[in-house]
Structure 1
Amino acid sequence: MKLNSTHKANNLLFLENSGQMGKLIREMDWDNTNLGPISNWPVSLRTTLAIILHSSYPMFLFWGDELICFYNDAYRPSLGKEGKHPAIGKRGKEVWPEIWDFIGPLINDVVTTAKPVSYSDQLVPFYRNGRMEDVYWTFCYSAAFDDNGNVNGVVVTCTETTETVITKRELQESERRLRTMIAQAPVSIAIFQGKDHVTELANSLALQMWGRREDEVLGQPILEAMPELKSQGIKELLDDVYNTGKTFSTSEFPVQIMRKGNLNMAYLNFSFEPLLDTSGNIEGIMALGIEVTDQVISRKGIEESEKKFRLLADSLPQFVWTADPEGNLNYFNQSVFEFSGLSQDQLINKGWLQMVHPDDRKNNFRTWEDSIATGKDFSLEHRFRRHDGTYRWQLSHAKPQRNDDGIIQMWVGSSTDIQEQKIFLDELEKQVKERTAELLELNESLKKSEQRYHLMVEEVQDYAILYLNPEGIVENWNTGAEKIKGYKADEIIGKNFSNFYTKEDRKSGLPKRLLGLAAKKGKALQEGWRVRKDGTLFWASVVITAVHNEKNEVIGYSKVTHDLTVKKESDDALKEKQAELEQKNIELQKMNKELQSFAYISSHDLQEPLRKIQTFASRIIEKDHDTLSENGKYLFKRMQLSAERMQSLIDDLLAYSRTHNLEGDFERINLNLIIEQVKQDLSEELLQKNAIIETDKTCMVNIIPFQFKQLFYNLISNSLKFAKPEEPVHITIKNEYVLGKLLEGEYFQEDTKYCHITFSDNGIGFEQKYSEKIFELFQRLYGKTEYPGTGIGLAIIKRIVENHYGVITAQGELGKGATFNIYLPVDD
């Protein structure tokens, strides 16, 4: 191929306003090149370059026998950094050696035939940005003619499509993963298109649940593929979702399905959800479901078993009763009704404490509450009133029934008459006291000393106390550790404490995680199986505490282990005298395990007897005021005050129990409306305290309004209650939106937006170390005489926040007020 030159007008007008590449061409020394000075360039070259340099579309030119390279500003970014730029004036083969095997033949074809060549999304990897890169192009090679009309070069019009190609591949891969996820989902998934509900997709679980093969349903209206569904209401449900766009969901829906030629009854949990096209119109329905036939049949079997057990329990002479996990009694056998003369309605509505002797009720309530709080077995001797008005001693036992995860599901209890045994024991105790009174008095001091000594030794021996270095190596060993774990000191010191853990725990990294938790939090608590020297297992309660030096660096860990495997019965004397009774209790406990009944006795059932106490006390004061002594009046006043405190406690307990359920509908509402309602309710109290409440523009949140009214009522009431006497109350309520990823704490989701409510006052405050304790039930930091209350208000607040999937924290300083931070997730 030979370069033909035609010398025309000697000017550089074609390079004016031609960008950086035009400037580069103008500044280059062309005199020593085959092209020669720009003034000698042929008109065809200058014209072609004028078109290229003034185009906003990426263009490249190979010119002459040596295929000299030219390109415009739009093409320049495609060459990247640390690559081929500047390539203007260089030979084509010199600039593109790595791809010349591909583009060289293309250029030759165009020059030879004058026919254009084009490609779409073609991979043409070349060197740029300091490395070889895979680059995709859509381009066209077309002939460039000289002044004589002969092909003298190639014009490349191109655009880089690398991002488009990669995006297409990612979309294809995303669709593949989505279909794979649907196919492997743990629930049945199907998609029906159009008003005829044609099956477009069904995963393996859906086909299994339907009893159909894929080729029997895909592309077919589901009601034609499964005609047995037509008369069972499924068509109406599908039509309603398709026509209204409302999601339908149900549980334990009974439906007959043809499987392997037989019509079988199945129970399904499923939902129909409308699918919308890009215009928002309904184009189909997605069905999600899971079969629960086995669970429904199993539950019905349990209900039948429970019915039989109730018949058995009603035939027993002992009292048999059950309670829910919160301690509310919900079942009594027939013996209870026959003994008390009370009906089931009377026991349920007025409470079981009416059977208990008044002198025993306080201890009864305290012991029962302790068992509910700790999960310990309940055991108590107390007196029950018989239908003739006499009281008889009963021995009551109750055990928690736990599920496989150790969570208490119910309490099963029994009460046995021990009136005769109690009379005998009381008489025996009286005689022993009379005969040993003098000896007890003389030796009381020595006995207390011995008890303290033996208790100390017993506690030390019952706890394995050891010291670990930062890597978990045992450095110290006590007698209790030898007793519990079986190793002597010289056998274990210098070895890692992971030797005490099971193979599974070591494999999962539990020992290392516990040390990490202790280093981070200061303390790690855990219960689990541990291994003795002889290979036997014991259940251990473990506390690992990080030990720090003066620079607050972790220098080791103290580890305390308590063996909880065996529980020794404390009252051997009682067991010996009541062997026969214990045997009956054991048999009764075996039967009690079958009880599965749950019901509800709410806190307000206690209010009726309390109202009677208040009413009768008021009547006595009104009618017999003059006949009562001063001491009698004082005692009645004390009784009324106690009843009022009990009424307040019951009201707070009732309010707290109501917060355990999400009563009411969630509404999207401005919090200022709630705050204004509470300010109206507390207007007199706010006026008395000269209180000022400042609020700013609040968040819009989804809440249960009456619960949040209770929340702000309690917060403002607390500020009024714990105000400084000499200062007006100043309350500030601020709000802001904040992203979860900016918040510290494991309770926050990074991709969730929260409404942060800050409630501050200038009251008496509290010490920061009580910032978590104040949210516990019945917790008070000040005496009742200083600040009245039940210690439930903040527990209610925390429960309400948790009902809304939120988080609440408290900050305080004595004498400087308190601040409560509430974080509520916001649904955009």
Structure 2
Amino acid sequence: MKKSENVSASGLSACARIVGASEMAGRVRNYIWRDTLLGPIEGWPHALVSSVNLALNSSVAAALYWGPELIFICNDASVRMMGDYLNDFLGLSAEKLWMEHWPNVEQQFRAVLTNGESFTGEGVPFTFKRANPSDEIHFTYSLSPIYDEGSVVGIYRTLDDMTGQVVAMRNLAEANERLRMALTAGCLGVWDWHIHTGIVYADETTAKLYSIDPNEAGTGVSNKLFERMLHLDDIAPLSDAIIGCITTGKEYSVDVRVNRGDGSYRWVRSMGRCVYDKNGHAYRVTGLKSDVTDLRRSESKPQAAQGTLLPIEAWEKLPLHMQSLLRGTLPFLVDSPDQIRLVVVPDVNGTQISLRVAATDLGKAIGKQGRTIRAFRTILQAVNGIGEHRYSIDIESRAASDSNQA
């Protein structure tokens, strides 16, 4: 008796051979495969049916490419990940599926199919149509050979969307660069002392303040190299401040004289806080350093000679390290620093700083797409990391604020 064309040699119908209740399982069962190179499901070899069912019922984005033409079948997770790119894809060859991307991956597929070599691609960027008109997505994918009676007959592929991780790493790199630029503009250096080893890790700004090779400081140098550049009268006060910081958990800020290397000295403000391990033991002291030589000189002059950068009553509401930060950065933010007015509003949640600048300086202070003010807020985040008190900042036009007061 001649078997029905809807029944395989094993006696199972096409519907019975493809298992699962997923959308893609239904599409595979109902697809007219006889018009493709694979032929009807009833004639598929056992290895192909097993591989298709494995992919369709996988919780990860899985697919297979079958035969010399690498005919494509995938599961629901793959469709969700690749979006509109996978419209009308069943039965397509890998070359037609990948389209403009095929030259970049063909060699990998051929190596798996010809030599049985597995392959993994990490963070590979592709542009597919998804929620947005054109999204760049980053995949990590693996290609593994499928064997039937000792020969490679297809490729099993898994896919992992790494876009979130790649974007996060990119944003972190951009944030770190903004922080570096902001700290540089504010003449602020970063340092990190590991107590038990005595090693200090410092950025270029801090290294130059102490006449230390920046490359060596970046990889860690002995704290003795920093100490030997201090004025002898300032070693004990700095040591006492750091010990107090470690024992009390409070931040410290102290000004010390640092040898320039030619016998003259600059004033450096050292600010820091202690970091404790999970057992409450101190293991690091980290913070910022800034050159306050000009500030110290201005403070030694009569008050009237300091200019009109900011009202003295506003300064008095800020700690010394915040005064140093603002004095060091504000001249870089505007063309008319003498027109800046400062409003400081302390409350239980922290201190709100409002910078009121000349109307002509507002655009520069905020920066293109808000980049300048974001960089300045990044500095504040670094300062916030030193102690428990929090600072926030806003910039507005003096013309607007003055009219509101009127």
Q: TM-score, length-normalised on structure 1? A: 0.33
Query: CA separation in 2, counterparts of 1:153 and 1:165?
Result: 30
**Alignment counterpart, residue 232 of structure 1, candidates 232, 236, 249:** 236
Residue aligning to 1:143: 145
Residue of structure 1 aligned with 2:107, choices 88, 105, 108: 105
The secondary structure found in structure 2 opposite 1:86 is: coil
Aligned to 2:157: 156
CA distance 1:202–1:57, change in 2 (3 Å) = closer
Cα 1:277–1:123 change in 2 (3 A) is farther
CA distances 1:212-267 after superposition (whole Å, capped 9, x unpaired):
554686633334433344753222222221343211235xx5x5543344365x66
Of 2, 21, 24, the residue aligned with 2:24 is 21
Answer with 1 or 2: which has the greater Rg: 1
Secondary structure in structure 2 of the residue aligned to 1:31 = helix
Say whether the 8 Å CA contact 2:71–2:93 is kept in structure 1. yes
Give the CA deviation at 1:155: 1.4
Going from structure 1 to structure 2, the CA distance change for 1:196 and 1:233 (only over 3 Å counts) comes to farther
Provide the residue aligned with 1:74 in structure 2.
77
Q: What letter matches 1:226 in structure 2?
A: E
Alignment partners' CA distance in 2, 1:65 and 1:294? 80
1:53 corresponds, among 41, 53, 56, to 56
Query: Any idea what the Cα deviations from partners look like across 1:608-636, whole Å, max 9, x if unmatched?
Result: xxxxxxxxxxxxxxxxxxxxxxxxxxxxx
CA distance in 2, matches of 1:408, 1:59: 66
Change (3 A) 1:271 1:38: closer
Partner of 2:273: 273
The question of whether the paired residues in 2 share the 8 Å contact of 1:59 and 1:156 is answered with yes
Aligned 8 A contact 2:258 2:268 in 1:
no
Alignment of 1:796-811 (within 5 A): none
Per-residue Cα deviation, 1:514-573 (whole angstroms, up to 9, x for no partner): xxxxxxxxxxxxxxxxxxxxxxxxxxxxxxxxxxxxxxxxxxxxxxxxxxxxxxxxxxxx
- Quote the offset at 1:72 in angstroms: 0.8
Query: Counterpart amino acid of 1:247?
Result: E
Q: Is the 8 A contact 1:256 1:263 kept in 2?
A: no
- Deviation track 1:780-803 (CA, whole Å, cap 9, x = no partner) reads xxxxxxxxxxxxxxxxxxxxxxxx
CA contact (8 A) 2:206 2:289 kept: no
Task: Find the counterpart in structure 1 of residue 168 from structure 2.
Answer: 167
Preserved contact between residue 207 and residue 214 of structure 2 (Cα < 8 Å): no
Q: How does 1:209-608 map to 2 (within 5 A)?
A: 210=210, 214=214, 219-227=220-228, 228-229=231-232, 231-250=235-254, 253=255, 255-262=256-263, 264=265, 270-275=270-275, 282=282, 283-289=284-290, 290-291=292-293, 292-299=295-302, 405=308
- Conserved? CA contact 1:7–1:43, under 8 Å: no
- SS, match of residue 8 in structure 1: coil
Q: 1:145 to 1:212 in 2, by over 3 A?
A: closer
8 Å CA contact 1:106, 1:117 repeated in 2: yes
Alignment match of 1:117 (pick from 114, 119, 128): 119
For residue 122 of structure 2, what is the amino acid of its counterpart?
A: S
- Which of these residues, 21, 40, 44, is aligned with residue 43 of structure 2? 40
Alpha-carbon spacing, 1:263–1:112, altered in 2? closer, same or farther (3 Å): closer
Checking the alignment, whether the CA contact within 8 Å between 2:64 and 2:74 is kept in structure 1 is yes
Q: Say whether the 8 Å CA contact 2:63–2:73 is kept in structure 1.
A: yes
Seen in structure 2, the aligned counterparts of structure 1 residues 125 and 403 have a Cα distance that, compared at 3 Å, is closer
- Residues 273 and 287 in structure 1, CA contact (< 8 A), matched pair in contact too: no
Between 266-275 and 42-51, report the one with greater CA deviation. 266-275
- Superposed displacement of residue 194, structure 1: 2.2
Among candidates 9, 12, 37, match of residue 10 of structure 1: 12
Identity of aligned residues (%): 19
In structure 2, do the counterparts of structure 1 residues 217 and 169 end up closer, same or farther at CA, with 3 Å as the change threshold?
closer
Q: Among residues 90, 93, 109, which one is paired with 1:91 in the alignment? A: 93
User: Residues 188 and 205 of structure 2 are in contact (CA less than 8 Å); yes or no, is this contact kept in structure 1?
Assistant: no
In structure 1, give the amino acid aligned to 2:271: S
With over 3 angstroms needed to count, the CA separation of the structure-2 counterparts of 1:40 and 1:245, relative to structure 1, is same
- Tell me, in whole angstroms, the C-alpha distance in 2 between the residues paired with 1:279 and 1:9: 68
Letter in 1 for 2:86: K
The letter for the 1-side match of 2:154 is G
Residues 183, 10 of structure 1: alpha-carbon distance in 2 compared, 3 angstrom cutoff: same
In the alignment, the residues of structure 2 paired with residue 70 and residue 90 of structure 1 have an alpha-carbon distance, to the nearest angstrom, of 8
User: Given that residues 272 and 287 in structure 1 are in contact (C-alpha distance below 8 angstroms), is that contact kept between their aligned partners in structure 2?
Assistant: yes
SS of alignment partner, residue 35 of structure 1: coil
TM-score normalised to the size of structure 2?
A: 0.62
Separation in 2 of the partners of 1:200 and 1:402?
Answer: 39
Measured after TM superposition, the shift of residue 46 of structure 1 is 1.2
Hey, what's the Cα distance between the residues in 2 that align with 1:216 and 1:105? 44
2:83 & 2:50 partners in 1: Cα distance?
A: 27
User: Contact between 2:70 and 2:93, CA under 8 Å: does it hold in 1?
Assistant: yes
Partner SS for 2:180: helix
C-alpha separation in 1, matches of 2:178 and 2:252: 27
Deviation at 1:95, TM superposition (A): 2.3
Report the CA distance between 1:80 and its aligned residue: 1.0
Q: Distance in 2 between matches of 1:69 and 1:196?
A: 58
Separation (CA, whole Å) in 1 of partners of 2:98 and 2:212 = 60
Kindly provide the amino acid, as one letter, of the partner of residue 8 in structure 1: S
Q: Unaligned regions of 5+ residues in structure 2, if any?
A: 1-7, 313-334, 336-344, 351-376, 378-391, 393-406
- By how many angstroms is 1:71 displaced? 0.5
CA contact (8 A) 2:246 2:274 kept: yes
Letter in 1 for 2:75: N
Deviation at 1:121, TM superposition (A): 1.6
CA contact (8 A) 1:197 1:284 kept: no
Matched letter for residue 248 of structure 2: T
Shift of 1:23: 0.4
Q: Counterpart of 1:134 in 2: which secondary structure?
A: strand
Determine the C-alpha separation between the residues in 1 that align with 2:190 and 2:10. Answer: 75
Secondary structure of the residue aligned to 2:77 is coil
Q: Tell me if the contact between 1:62 and 1:68 (Cα under 8 Å) persists in the aligned partners.
A: yes
Counterparts of 1:241 and 1:408, CA distance in 2: 31
Unaligned runs of 5+ in 1: 1-5, 303-400, 410-507, 509-661, 669-700, 703-750, 752-804, 806-828
Counterpart contact for 2:298–2:306, Cα < 8 Å: no
Measure, in 2, the Cα distance between the counterparts of 1:79 and 1:8. Answer: 35
Amino acid at match of 1:248: Y
1:39 is matched by which residue type in structure 2?
Answer: E
Distance 1:667 1:241 in 2: 24
- Residue deviations 1:588-626, cap 9 Å, x none? xxxxxxxxxxxxxxxxxxxxxxxxxxxxxxxxxxxxxxx
Mark the CA change 1:206 to 1:95 in structure 2 (over 3 Å): closer, same or farther: closer
CA distance in 1 between counterparts of 2:215 and 2:94 reads 58
1:180 — aligned with what? 181
Q: Kindly state the Cα deviation for residue 296 of structure 1 after the two structures are TM-superposed.
A: 4.3
- Contact 2:207-2:217 within 8 A present in 1 as well: no
Q: Deviations over 1:695-720 (max 9, x none)?
A: xxxxxx89xxxxxxxxxxxxxxxxxx
1:58 and 1:158 in contact (8 A); partners too:
yes
CA distance 1:402–1:256, shift in 2 (3 Å): closer
> Counterpart amino acid of 1:145?
Y
1:44 Cα deviation from its structure 2 partner = 1.7
RMSD: 4.1
Q: What is aligned with 1:30?
A: 33
Q: Which amino acid aligns with 2:274?
A: P
Shift of 1:22: 0.7
CA distance in 2, matches of 1:213, 1:144: 56
Distance in structure 2 (CA, Å) of the matches to 1:113 and 1:196? 52
Counterparts in 2 of 1:109 and 1:9: CA distance versus 1, 3 Å: farther
